[in-house]
Structure 1
Amino acid sequence: MKKLLISVFLVAVPVALLAQTTAKAQNKAARAPASRVEIKTTATQMASGIMAAETALTPAELAIAQRVYHGKLPCELGAFVTLTADPKSPGYFDVQTKNQKFRMFPVETSTGAIRLEDPQGGAVWLQLANKSMLMNQKLGKRLADECMSPDQAAMAELLIKNPAPSVLDAPVVAATK
């Protein structure tokens, strides 16, 4: 009896495994796209979804984008940086120097400085009250410095005439009566 049970078991196990393998193959065939057109359509839809998710900015980032100076900004040594807002993707900017172009989006900072980044190109645009600069983080160098819009030039002039107190100066204590 034992030998009969072992024989039946030895025959049944491979048959069961073969049936499972055949069922899995049929299931895969049923799920597989029927043509290259369907594969391409699915890939295009997935890529569009990924791009839409990447282009979606938070309300805080969109608020930062509203404060970015646009146009052709003169920089030191006769250089120029051109910032152009992308009309199709609000909050995104094309930043161009003489021989380089970057696609940037705003990033929140703890200091209140306006920061635009292009992670692929490794570029960062920093906009302060009195100047802006374009840096390449990958290379560790500035591509353009002392770039100024008319508002920034006015602020730079004001800071020359009335410099802000240094953080190293002793605090001024108000006199009490």
Structure 2
Amino acid sequence: MKHLVLAACIGAFSLTTATAVMAQEPAKKTTSKKASTKKKAAAGTAAAAGAAAAVTPNGEKWQCELGNNLYIAGDMLRDEVLTVHWQGKDYKLPRQATVTGADRYYDARTGLDLVVIPSKAMLFNKNLGQRLADDCQSAAMQAGAAAPTQAGGLRAPATTPLLVTPPGGPTQVPEGAQQSAAPKQ
């Protein structure tokens, strides 16, 4: 009989203890979940801030319509690959040959396509089939200069006439050195 009373006491004690522990346990879990969620959110924010700080834009800033900006690093007159900083990431875009005279830099892997004409630059995403940025201009272009394109560097500037009298008037040729414009027969 002593064993039966002892077993009943132990059973009652363990039932009470288990109920108390189970009642406290969910509260501890939600508290720890909230704390771990806050820690993860803080760590994610810090990682995002660190990633944003790690990729600082370099190159020349080009302002686009709708408040977008892109940064172009490299010399458009001679470089075969430009680095374009767009939406917090750097992209290496190799030069592509064109028949229109526009400078085109396109990376098939990312789908980014930068087209530069003398008056503006446009950024496309060929994979999504959309224009990301339009009417992008550098500070010099906003002041009236043409884009520093390879095609533009091969042509005379539009503001300079092709036949210009040199400063100081026409060049004088000595009388004995003048040649006849008529062909010799």
Give the TM-score normalised by structure 2.
0.41
Decide which structure has the larger Cα Rg and report it.
2
Give the TM-score normalised by structure 1.
0.43
